[in-house]
């Protein structure tokens, strides 16, 4: 297993639309394991393959307190949405920023597990928000897209400044 590098906003590669996984082989289960390890290492609640520059529709999530129940969603598709919930979101690709985003409160979805087995599930609250956030990543979308252009520009310039400083240190 290995810790993967996470792309950070405004990296253009985060705008790539990911493709469905069609072959479920060892490369998929390895990717899922690396993504879970990376998510825990960065203390995140979710990670999409897009964020580690792999453009396949693979998501890992763990909203448990104990960080011991990882959920893997491959080729996820939301079937139903209802209710409205506003909550503070953050993202490993937008480190250090937390903003209010409005999402559906409750969702029903279908997906495949890491072996390709299809299943359906329902989710509410934090898990529902997290799944919608991660599916956005697979479509090249980030939570900052829901903010005002002014707020988004501020976050962008602050992160660009940090990336510049990090570049100089290397």
Question: Closest distance between Ni ion and the C-beta of residue 26, in Å?
Answer: 26
Q: What is the C-alpha to C-alpha distance for residues 149 and 74, in angstroms, rounded to an integer?
A: 32
Residue 110 tokens read as: 């279908």
User: Closest by alpha carbon to 92, among 49, 58, 123?
Assistant: 49
Closer residue to Ni ion (CB): 74 or 91: 91
Closer residue to Ni ion (CB): 24 or 42: 42
Closer residue to Ni ion (CB): 24 or 55: 55
Summarize as ranges the residues that interact with Ni ion (CB under 5 A): 91
Exactly one of 8, 37, 122, 134 is catalytic; which is it? 134
Question: Closest distance between Ni ion and the C-beta of residue 133, in Å?
Answer: 5
To the query of whether residue 66 is one of the catalytic residues in this protein, the response is no
Question: Closest distance between Ni ion and the C-beta of residue 16, in Å?
Answer: 14
Q: What is the C-alpha to C-alpha distance for residues 162 and 95, in angstroms, rounded to an integer?
A: 11
Question: Closest distance between Ni ion and the C-beta of residue 25, in Å?
Answer: 27
Closer residue to Ni ion (CB): 24 or 146: 146
Residue 63 tokens read as: 């909203």
Q: CA 46 → CA 25, 26, 84, distances in Å?
A: 22, 22, 21
49 contact partners, CB below 8 Å, separation of at least 6: 18, 31, 35, 55, 56, 57, 58, 59, 138
User: Closest by alpha carbon to 75, among 104, 117, 130?
Assistant: 117
Report, as residue numbers or ranges, the catalytic residues: 134
């Amino acid at each position: 297993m290995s810790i993967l590098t996470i792309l950070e906003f405004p990296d253009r590669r985060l705008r790539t639309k990911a493709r469905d996984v069609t072959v479920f082989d060892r490369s998929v289960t390895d990717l899922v394991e690396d993504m879970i390890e990376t998510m825990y290492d960065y203390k995140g609640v979710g990670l999409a393959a897009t964020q580690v520059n792999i453009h396949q529709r693979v998501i890992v999530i763990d909203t448990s307190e104990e960080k011991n129940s990882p959920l893997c969603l491959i080729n996820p598709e939301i079937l139903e949405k209802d209710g409205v919930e506003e909550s503070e979101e953050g993202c490993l690709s937008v480190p250090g920023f937390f903003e209010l985003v409005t999402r559906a409160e409750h969702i029903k979805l279908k997906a495949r597990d890491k072996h390709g087995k299809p299943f359906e599930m329902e989710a509410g609250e934090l898990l529902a928000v997290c799944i919608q956030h991660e599916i956005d990543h697979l479509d090249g979308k980030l939570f900052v897209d829901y903010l005002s252009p002014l707020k988004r520009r501020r976050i962008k310039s602050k992160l660009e400044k940090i990336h510049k400083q990090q570049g100089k240190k290397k």
